[in-house]
Structure 1
């Protein structure tokens, strides 16, 4: 049996591939296990060192989070003498916050990225053109370089807008579920702060963006901020119309002293109705969207299939009669 297996080349190749796959899987599994153990040990050492040593000049968590590589590069560029502050800094900050970039250095980093792409893309094209051995004409070089410069100038805007749209869609889709759970928590006897904390922890995996907003608002309330201030910051950081309306309702309910549970019940019903209407709108848009590939791809094939017998008959019978054959 072993000799037959060794003589057949196909079985030999299959056996070698199987042995190789098993060895690779075992090596990857062992390496992941060792890496996980090393990471756990490193974290335990860091926690022990942090518990034993008290650093007097320890920075805040916000400053550690904002101290990224891009922010350090932007700070170094500004120290060199190039001002990265945009004239519409407030408007740019709102756009970046809507896309999820809440760092104070985000506008300067955005301006730096646009400046780098504005310079790098045309220079890359010029370098490749001259090193290729067949340099283009000056007019072609100028036109393509200008187009690449415009592309580098507007490409970060397109990326930020696309990310803001995806973030808004995720928040809008996840907010009705979180609002229903928040209503259940409030009606069961929890306070608004405790309910937002519980919903933020429960929805951390299913709807992380909404859970993050609720958790940040809970931390602001625990830090001593008033409800109106915390809710206004929530609407400002979300940059979504549904959450802005929700926070406005909560502020008015808190001012007038009305029941928060009844307010949330009415708004939750409105949010469910809006979600149903959005689903119906998408369903009604499907025939229009399907008609585009139908007309572009299937209709020419159907016309060609229907017209082919007539074309063959014309070429075989009518054309010879017309030519007198």
Structure 2
């Protein structure tokens, strides 16, 4: 049996040590740096998000600029026609606020629509009548129809705003008794009126966003307006509801005469619950009268067929 001499063993161990040393030095360079890679991916994602944010901001600025240009053009046209008083009308702003249009340019857009829509509708009809020779209408009838369309175009924006305001008021009225109950709970818990309004707006933001918005605006006005009475009156004007007017009156009387706010809110809440119950009973009482026509049209013919049908079939078979 042959043995490895000492010199060969030393050379082999030296070579192995050198190999391990080189491997230890080169492994960090060969292995993938996971942290560096993650940092690079995070930086790349951050740059991408920043680019998207800049693009969205640029698009938003372009959109606002285009809207501002359009609104400025509308305002110039209305100024040339001396319609500044119409734009500044408090009644018009209240109507738009009740419909949910609180933008500073809402009155300008509404007034311009009432001015331009009649011309657009009448002009489009006249162009259609002139291009379509199949219409058997003389010039007088065409002008009469165009005038009718102009009248419709003049009243259409007002009808849309009124319809939107009525729908919004109906939604507000449905959720107002619950908001009053929450106000009573918050006031009895020791919160101030501002804190109660803030808490109610936070609680109703999902179930009743319109009412939460109104209470939030009232909270802001109570904080920044010098006259609290004006803040309460603005709430009544923005909504146009008798219930909010009653709430405004109750709060003003409580502040003026020092009566407990919780007592006034309890009475008002009970009145609103009774009013809602009375409205439900009224609808239930009117239901039989409303069902008369559908029963006559749909139910009685089927009943007559079921009752008289067999006798008619039997008599036909006996013939």
Contact 1:235/1:243 (<8 A) preserved: yes
- Equivalent runs, 1:113-262 vs 2, <5 Å: 113-138=113-138, 139-262=140-263
Single out whichever of 67-76 and 189-198 deviates more from structure 2. Answer: 67-76
| 1:120-146 Cα shifts (integer Å, max 9, x gaps) | 112212222222232432233123222
Aligned partner of 1:265 in structure 2 is 266
State yes or no: 1:100 paired with 2:100: yes
C-alpha contact (below 8 Å) 1:93/1:107 kept by paired residues: yes
The Cα of 1:165 is off from its aligned counterpart by 0.6
Secondary structure of 2:186's aligned partner: helix
Distance 1:111 1:294, change over 3 A: farther
Question: Bigger shift: 191-200 or 121-130?
Answer: 121-130
Kept in 2, the 8 Å contact 1:121–1:149? The answer is yes
Question: For the aligned residues, what is the CA RMSD?
Answer: 3.4
Task: Classify the secondary structure of the residue corresponding to 1:83.
Answer: coil
Which string of whole-angstrom CA distances, capped at 9 and with x for unpartnered residues, describes residues 14-36 of structure 1? xxxxxxxxxxxxxxxxxxxxxxx
Structure 1: runs of 5 or more not aligned: 1-36, 49-63, 319-325
- TM-score normalised by structure 2 residue count: 0.71
Deviations 1:158-181 (CA, angstroms, capped at 9, x unpaired): 111111111111111111111111
- Give TM-score, length-normalised by structure 1: 0.69
Contact 2:78 2:84 in 1 (8 A): no
Show the counterpart of 1:82: 81
1:105 deviates by 3.4
Q: Is the 8 A contact 1:86 1:107 kept in 2?
A: no
Contact preservation (8 Å) 1:85, 1:108: no
The residue number in structure 2 matching 1:274 is: 275
**Which consecutive unaligned segments of at least 5 residues does structure 2 have?**
1-45, 58-63
**Matched residues, number:** 264
Distance in 2 between the 1:212 and 1:290 partners?
Answer: 38
| Distance (Å, rounded) in 2 between the aligned partners of 1:69 and 1:311 | 76
Residues 230-289 of structure 1: per-residue CA shift (max 9 Å, x gap): 112211222111001111110011111111111111111111111111222222233333
1:85/1:111 contact within 8 Å kept: no
CA distance in 2, matches of 1:220, 1:260: 19
Contact 1:84 1:108 (8 Å CA) reproduced: no
1:188/1:87 Cα in 2 relative to 1: closer, same or farther (>3 Å)? closer
